[in-house]
Structure 1
Amino acid sequence: MMVRGVRGATTVAENRADAIVDAAAELLAQMIEVNGIIEDEVASVIFTSTPDLDAGFPAPAGRKVGWSRVALLGMQELAVPGGIERTVRILIHWNTDKGLDDIVHVYLHGAQGLRPDLAQRRQILQGESVGRDREGDRS
């Protein structure tokens, strides 16, 4: 098995602790579902939030989705002019046999704009504001 990074991002409607955790939990649940991740295969999860999200931490989302034994860490992003506001990012360190081309990265609620260089390679799910990026997909 190799350690692979699964990334995701979402925006939060407002700067409230419950809204931050709910948005992070929605994103984490989607990342888990589309990749088939189970807790025993996860080494750690890093949660980041933009400086304008200071009402609460996003990392409790890990407990909200039922992960009680995984190491969780929260950090603050840099305040960069022109960056997308009220954004939570997640990086899962996952022990898996899947190749890089098989990892699905998830972007919700306007966060697709974080990687405009990859936007043309993302598959947008119909009826949902979810973008999927398969590394190596050149279509």
Structure 2
Amino acid sequence: MMRGIRGATTVQENEAEEIVSHAYELVADMVHQNNVDANDVVSILFTVTEDLNAAFPAKAVRKIEGWTYVPVMCMQEIPVPGSLGKCIRVMMTVNTSAKQEEVHHVYHYGATVLRPDLKK
């Protein structure tokens, strides 16, 4: 069965090192909390808000050993007025036997406000 694992984080500045490091921290936590193996990943989609353009957050995936061939893509979020700024969102599609309610979605830093109902 394929499932989507959601995640989001924020950064303080539009700075390449911070974007990649926060994206890495987020993806690593998503992988850990859901016991994801690279061979089970279908693809990973990253979005960033329009105020982030210093780096591709997908570079973070390439820092994980064994994840060289995982397909990743970056896109820009829709600039909805009043939405959370300096935000990186992730949709990781994986093959898993976990039920939807067993999937651990991960929200870091300022992004915890996006889905308080999913806090565990």
User: TM-score, normalised on structure 1?
Assistant: 0.82
What is the deviation of 1:120?
4.1
2:119 maps to: 122
2:102 maps to: 102
Say which structure, 1 or 2, has more relative contact order (CA 8 Å, 6+ apart).
Answer: 2
The higher radius of gyration belongs to 1
2:88 maps to: 88
Name the count of aligned residue pairs: 119
Q: How does 1:1-139 map to 2 (within 5 A)?
A: 2-66=1-65, 67-115=67-115, 119-123=116-120
Quickly say closer, same or farther: Cα 1:121–1:58, change in 2 above 3 A.
closer
Two-structure CA RMSD over aligned residues (Å): 1.0
What is the deviation of 1:90?
0.6
Instruction: Among all aligned residue pairs of Structure 1 and Structure 2, give the percentage whose two residues are the same amino acid.
Output: 44
Structure having the higher helix fraction is 2
Cα displacement string for residues 98-129 of structure 1 (whole angstroms, at most 9, x for unaligned residues): 111110000000201113xxx24522xxxxxx
User: TM-score, normalised on structure 2?
Assistant: 0.95
Which residues of structure 1 form unaligned runs of 5+? 124-139
